[in-house]
């Protein structure tokens, strides 16, 4: 079985409220990324953050500041989001023109970052459909956040073309099995290239539930030999990544998806979550891939 690639999704695109340990500025993101790399992460997934407010902001300047700092302090692979930020992509804003938050605007940011070797991402998330992102509080019996990331096939073809021109590999995020079919169709049309790299996102309300059976089903639904990873929201993260490790897949952990090490025990850092993933992997006899090894596994060019 291949070595395990661990991705640390250190921030995410929703509000920083509710997690005092969330890295909010590019400077804090850099330190959190380096700490996660030192504990075993070979990939860092980042979202833009305004350094003054800590709020999500998909601006090339903020992302570039974080990427350049991460590159300076580590050899980790950088995976940049192309997803919407929750406070700008809720239903009230859905059809309004916000240049940097529109689909074309978000991929244009990747093109802007790719003009400079210090800020060019290695990977970029690629949503293979239009997930509905709902965050529900059982205690308050209400939805705290609702937004939709709309991606038509024209949107996806445009994004795939931009990433190809930039030499940035798509990490295909699939919130349900149908999105795998979308990715295969885009591959067959020549917009995406083999080997496709999938990330299964489980447990989001309205999308595929986080179960062992569903991870297994998604694994068997992708083209044979495709590298893949799994993540899940909340405490479902731990059984889902364990399943992925056993099936030979890779894993994603971090504050974007979950803030707990175990029930009632909040994580103090992304590094703590990476450390737990490393412990689980070693108990199951999976060795951890270095960034250099992960580059070879994902067929990424060597770091310049």
Tell me phi and psi for residue 35, to 5 degrees: -65, -40
The pLDDT value given to residue 86: 43
Tell me the pLDDT tens digit for each residue of 235-254: 999 999 999 999 999 999 99
Tell me the pLDDT tens digit for each residue of 125-143: 999 988 766 554 455 555 4
pLDDT band at 116 (very low <50, low <70, confident <90, very high): very high
| Residues 163, 27: Cα–Cα separation, whole Å | 26
Domain-wise residue ranges, the chain: 6-298
- The CATH-assigned architecture of domain 6-298 is Alpha-Beta Barrel (3.20)
Under DSSP, the state recorded for 2 is P
| Residues 76, 251: Cα–Cα separation, whole Å | 15
Kindly report the pTM of this predicted structure. Answer: 0.91
DSSP conformation letters of 60-98? HHHHHHHHHHHHHH---EEEE--SPPTTTSBGGGTTS--
């Amino acid at each position: 079985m291949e070595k395990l690639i661990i991705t640390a999704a250190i921030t995410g695109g929703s509000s920083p409220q509710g997690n005092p340990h969330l890295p909010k500025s590019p400077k804090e993101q850099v330190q959190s990324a380096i700490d996660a790399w030192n504990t075993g992460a070979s990939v860092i997934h980042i979202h833009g953050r305004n350094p003054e407010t800590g709020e999500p902001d998909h601006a090339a300047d903020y992302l570039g500041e974080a990427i350049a700092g991460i590159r300076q302090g580590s050899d980790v692979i950088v995976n940049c989001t192309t997803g919407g930020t929750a406070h700008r992509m809720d239903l009230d804003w859905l059809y309004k023109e916000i240049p940097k938050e529109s689909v074309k605007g978000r991929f244009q940011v990747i093109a802007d970052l790719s003009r400079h070797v210090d800020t060019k991402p290695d990977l970029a998330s690629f949503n293979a459909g239009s997930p509905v992102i709902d965050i529900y509080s059982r205690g308050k019996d209400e939805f705290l956040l609702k937004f939709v990331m709309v991606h038509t096939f024209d949107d996806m073809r445009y994004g795939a073309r931009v990433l190809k021109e930039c030499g940035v590999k798509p990490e295909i995020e699939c919130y349900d099995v149908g999105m795998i079919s979308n990715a295969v169709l885009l591959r067959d049309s020549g917009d995406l290239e083999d080997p496709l790299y999938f990330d299964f996102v489980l447990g989001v309300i309205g999308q595929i539930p986080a179960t062992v059976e569903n991870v297994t089903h998604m694994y068997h639904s992708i083209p044979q030999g495709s590298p893949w990873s799994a993540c899940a929201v909340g405490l479902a993260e731990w059984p889902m990544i364990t399943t992925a490790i056993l099936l030979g897949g890779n894993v994603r952990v971090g504050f974007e998806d979950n803030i707990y090490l175990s029930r009632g025990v909040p994580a103090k850092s992304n590094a703590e979550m990476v450390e737990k993933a490393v412990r689980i992997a070693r108990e199951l006899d999976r060795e951890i891939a270095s960034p250099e090894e992960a580059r070879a596994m994902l067929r990424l060019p060597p770091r310049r």
